[in-house]
């Protein structure tokens, strides 16, 4: 698994969640909600792909 990439996405998710807690207007809340959803999807995709044998093979060949 790309641990560093996962850690970066997790940090990004925490930052966005903190920003959302402090947001005051609807436009900002909507933007942050969308960014949070995309980040969560990226994390899920990274975890799912890392379990796929073909993904593991491609990663091994790339490095």
pLDDT digits (tens, 9 = 90+) for 28-46: 999 999 999 999 999 999 8
pTM assigned to the model:
0.77
Name the packing angle between helices 26-50 and 53-62 (round to 10°).
Answer: 90
Quote the pLDDT of residue 63.
Answer: 60
- CA distance linking residue 25 with residue 56, whole number of Å: 43
More confident residue, 11 or 47: 11
Task: Label residue 22 by pLDDT band (50, 70, 90).
Answer: very high
Task: Tell me what the pLDDT averaged over the chain comes to.
Answer: 88
Return the sign of the alpha-carbon dihedral for residues 42, 45, 50, 54. negative
Task: Label residue 13 by pLDDT band (50, 70, 90).
Answer: very high
């Amino acid at each position: 698994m790309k641990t560093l990439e996962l850690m970066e996405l997790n940090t990004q998710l925490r930052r966005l969640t903190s920003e959302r807690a402090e947001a005051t207007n609807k436009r900002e809340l909507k933007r942050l909600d969308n960014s949070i959803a995309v980040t969560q999807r990226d994390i899920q995709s990274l975890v799912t792909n890392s379990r796929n044998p073909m993904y593991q093979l491609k990663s091994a060949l790339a490095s």
